[in-house]
């Protein structure tokens, strides 16, 4: 199943569980082996793979054990600076000019 904007939350959780099960089997590891690697219970691994709601930290530990933690980088990339922000900031300064010194005895010029 392809995860789309219109997928329900339960469909997305079920699909993530299915994909993590496929990744585990591709390694290959049993649920018990994965449980030992992650310090989670076999029941938690089974629950995840069956599409039950688990904590995000559980998913992170499973991804780490399967060598897939970098998938989060693809899923949620770091946001760079937007072009509109660059335009708002303008051209960055390359150098600063020295400030002009104001004389203490300044006059308008029409005074004597």
| DSSP state, residue 106 | -
Residue 65 contacts residue 33 (beta carbons within 8 Å) = no
pTM of the model: 0.69
Alpha-helical regions (H) of the chain: 9-26, 31-38, 42-49, 56-65, 71-75, 83-89
Residue 41 contacts residue 51 (beta carbons within 8 Å) = no
| DSSP state, residue 96 | -
pLDDT digits (tens, 9 = 90+) for 19-52: 999 999 999 999 999 999 999 999 999 999 999 9
């Amino acid at each position: 199943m392809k995860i789309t904007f219109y997928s329900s939350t339960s469909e997305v959780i079920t699909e993530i569980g299915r994909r993590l099960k496929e990744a585990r089997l591709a390694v290959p590891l049993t649920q018990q082996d994965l449980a030992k690697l992650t310090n989670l219970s076999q029941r938690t691994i089974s629950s995840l793979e069956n599409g039950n709601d688990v904590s995000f930290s559980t998913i992170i530990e499973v991804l780490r054990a399967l060598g897939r933690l970098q998938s989060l980088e693809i899923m949620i990339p770091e946001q760079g600076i937007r072009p509109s922000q660059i335009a708002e900031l303008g051209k960055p300064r390359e150098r600063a000019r020295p400030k002009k010194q104001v004389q203490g005895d300044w006059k308008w010029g029409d005074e004597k």
